[in-house]
Homo-oligomer: A and B are copies of this chain.
Amino acid sequence: MAVPWRKNPNTSLECQPWRKLSVEGKILLVKGVFLASSYSILCTDSSLMWEEILDEENLLERSKSLNSHIEAPPTVITQQLLQRLLNGPLIKCKYSINITESLLTLSVSGPLQGDSGPEYQWNFCLHKTPSLVLKHQLVNPLLSMSVELLRQRNRLVDIIEKKDKEIRDYRENGAVISRKHLETLPFDEKAFTNEMIVTQDFQVSSIDPLSSIDSSWQDLYRDLSLCRNWVSSTDVTSSTTEMLPGTGGTWENKLPPSLIGSATTTPSVSPKKRSLESSPSKDAEKMRRLELERQLENSKAKNKKKKKKLM
- Name A's B-contacting residues (CB within 8 A): 1, 3, 6, 27, 45-48, 131-132, 134-135, 138-140, 142-157, 159-160, 162-167, 169-170, 172-179, 182-184, 187, 192, 194, 196-198, 200-214, 216-217, 220, 223-225, 227-228, 231-232, 263, 266, 268-269, 273, 276-277, 281
Contact = CB atoms under 8 A, between A and B. Distances in A.
Contact of A143 (B142, B157, B175): B142
B227 A144 contact: no
A160 B211 CA distance: 26
Given A178-B173, A273-B211, A206 B187 contact: no
Contacts of A6: 197
A151 B211 contact: no
Given A142-B146, A173-B178, A203-B263, 16 more contacts: A3-B198, A47-B132, A140-B209, A144-B206, A146-B209, A147-B212, A151-B205, A152-B196, A153-B153, A160-B163, A166-B177, A200-B263, A200-B266, A203-B269, A206-B225, A208-B276
B197 A227 contact: yes
B146 A165 contact: no
Contacts of A227: 197, 202-203, 206-207
Nearest to A186: B163
A231 B209 contact: no
Contacts of A1: 194, 198
29 contacts: A46-B140, A47-B131, A139-B142, A142-B143, A142-B146, A143-B209, A144-B206, A145-B146, A145-B149, A146-B209, A147-B209, A147-B213, A150-B217, A150-B220, A154-B216, A159-B187, A159-B192, A162-B182, A163-B164, A166-B182, A167-B167, A173-B176, A200-B269, A203-B231, A204-B273, A205-B224, A206-B224, A207-B231, A207-B273
6 A-B pairs with the lowest CB-CB distances in the bound complex, closest first: A47-B135, A149-B149, A142-B142, A175-B175, A148-B205, A163-B163
Contacts of A203: 227, 231, 263, 269
A184 B163 contact: yes
Nearest to A210: B143
B167 A217 contact: no
A277 B203 CA distance: 12
A169 B174 CA distance: 13
A47 B175 CA distance: 58
A153 B156 contact: yes
A100 to B, nearest CB: 13
Given A166-B177, A177-B170, A182-B166, A194 B3 contact: yes
